């Protein structure tokens, strides 16, 4: 696809909802997409700053090929400025000096060598390196490897449309339900993220949602209820919701960690609005997928390790209820 359009003043980037208007030589908010000779140049194409093999549960995805391995890649650059970012060393810089040059073919071959069933585009916002992710994902599909976006949800509608048949699953951060917080604190757009989530639900994608519960920022009962209500009402009550504990990091080193009480309030909000699959993250608690009908535990996780899985075909073996997800 074409990732930009020409304007009277230069070009308009189409990779994310900022739609940066770039004059000659100018880079966008992400710092890694630049107007060069009247065309959009992706400065991080093939320049991988992080590459690891992870359990898919670490993304986190709990209802998508559980127990499998994901080859995870990321570059530098991001289109948000979250003060709590755990990968700020790469997301909040444009320094390419510690990046390694790789081709899409090399990424796919690495996934094959390591028996990874998926490639996860993660660590920083993958929309900013979508040209590279897309080329890699197309090769991966030909090899039977699925593709995952771990994203802040700021993709443009144009990119979301293009992802059909290329990207299989998403974990989307819904960081708040406060438009002002998104704009002032994160330099993003809540309405854009909500629209992305609704578009993904309408498409042929598997979706899970993550909310990092930050003390004093997005942990009020009202806001947690608003997030849960949106997920249940717009995405469906079988959409997994990961509520994760915050720990002091980056520009929020003086803030206290998330209390178990705050996570409990988030969990209660999810239950109140009928969500069937709610998982607490970044805490010493088992992640259990239970049947919503007979309530038997089907998958039990200790951290990112699965210790029990009686759900190989997506149906509860006790009552035959279909459990939403991609299981094989």
pLDDT grade, residue 1 (50/70/90)?
confident
Q: What is the pLDDT of residues 2-29, one digit of tens each?
A: 899 999 989 999 999 999 999 999 999 9
Contact assessment for residue 118 and residue 146, using Cβ atoms and an 8 Å cutoff: yes
What pLDDT sits at residue 104? 98
Q: What percent of the chain stands above pLDDT 90?
A: 96
Q: What is the pLDDT of residues 262-314, one digit of tens each?
A: 999 999 999 999 999 999 999 988 999 999 999 999 999 999 999 999 998 99
> Which residues, listed in sequence order, are joined to residue 110 by a DSSP beta bridge?
none
pLDDT at residue 213 is higher than 90? yes
Please report, to the nearest 10 degrees, the dihedral formed by the alpha carbons of residues 139, 140, 146, 149 taken in order. -70
- Please check the confidence at residue 183 and state whether its pLDDT lies above 90: yes
Tell me the β-bridge partners of 243. Answer: 211, 280
* C-alpha count within 13 angstroms, C-beta hemisphere, residue 86: 9
pTM (2 d.p.): 0.97
Say whether pLDDT at 77 is over 90. Answer: yes
Sketch the domain layout of the chain as residue ranges: 44-286, 287-328
Alpha-carbon gap, residue 180 to 163, rounded angstroms: 29
At 195 the pLDDT is 98
pLDDT of residue 98: 84
The matching CATH number, chosen from 3.30.43.10, 3.20.20.70, 3.90.950.20, 3.40.50.300, for 44-286 is 3.20.20.70
pLDDT digits (tens, 9 = 90+) for 152-165: 999 999 999 999 99
Residue 52 pLDDT > 90, yes or no? yes
| 102 pLDDT more than 90 | yes
CA atoms of 132 and 130, how far apart (whole Å): 5
pLDDT surpassing 90 at residue 211 = yes
Give the pLDDT of residue 242: 98
């Amino acid at each position: 696809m074409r990732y930009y359009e020409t304007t009277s003043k230069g070009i308009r980037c189409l990779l994310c909802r900022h739609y940066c208007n770039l004059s000659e030589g100018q880079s966008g908010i992400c710092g890694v997409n630049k107007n060069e000779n009247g065309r959009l140049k992706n400065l991080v194409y093939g320049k991988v700053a992080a590459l690891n093999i992870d359990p898919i549960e670490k993304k986190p995805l709990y209802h998508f090929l559980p127990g499998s391995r994901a080859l995870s890649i990321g570059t530098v650059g991001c289109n948000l400025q979250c003060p709590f970012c755990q990968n700020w060393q790469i997301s909040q810089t444009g320094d390419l000096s510690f990046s390694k040059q790789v081709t899409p073919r090399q990424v796919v071959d690495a996934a094959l060598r390591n028996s990874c069933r998926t490639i996860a585009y993660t660590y920083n916002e993958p929309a900013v390196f979508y040209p590279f992710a897309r080329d890699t994902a197309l090769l991966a599909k030909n090899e039977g490897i699925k593709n995952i976006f771990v994203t802040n949800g700021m993709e443009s509608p144009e990119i979301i449309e293009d992802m059909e048949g290329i990207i299989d699953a998403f974990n989307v951060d819904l960081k708040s339900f406060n438009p002002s917080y998104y704009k002032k604190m994160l330099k993003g757009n809540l309405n854009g993220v909500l629209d992305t989530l609704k578009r993904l639900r309408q498409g042929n994608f598997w979706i899970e949602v993550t909310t990092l519960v930050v003390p004093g920022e997005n942990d009020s009962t009202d806001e947690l209820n608003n997030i849960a209500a949106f997920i249940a009402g717009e995405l469906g009550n079988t959409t997994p919701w990961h509520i994760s504990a915050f720990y002091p990091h980056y520009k929020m080193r003086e803030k206290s960690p998330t209390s178990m009480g705050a996570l409990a309030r988030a969990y209660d909000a999810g239950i109140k609005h009928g969500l069937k699959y709610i998982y607490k993250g970044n805490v010493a608690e088992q992640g259990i997928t239970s049947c919503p009908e007979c309530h038997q535990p089907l998958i039990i996780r200790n951290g990112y390790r699965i210790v029990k899985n009686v759900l190989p075909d997506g149906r509860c073996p006790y009552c035959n209820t279909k459990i939403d997800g991609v299981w094989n």
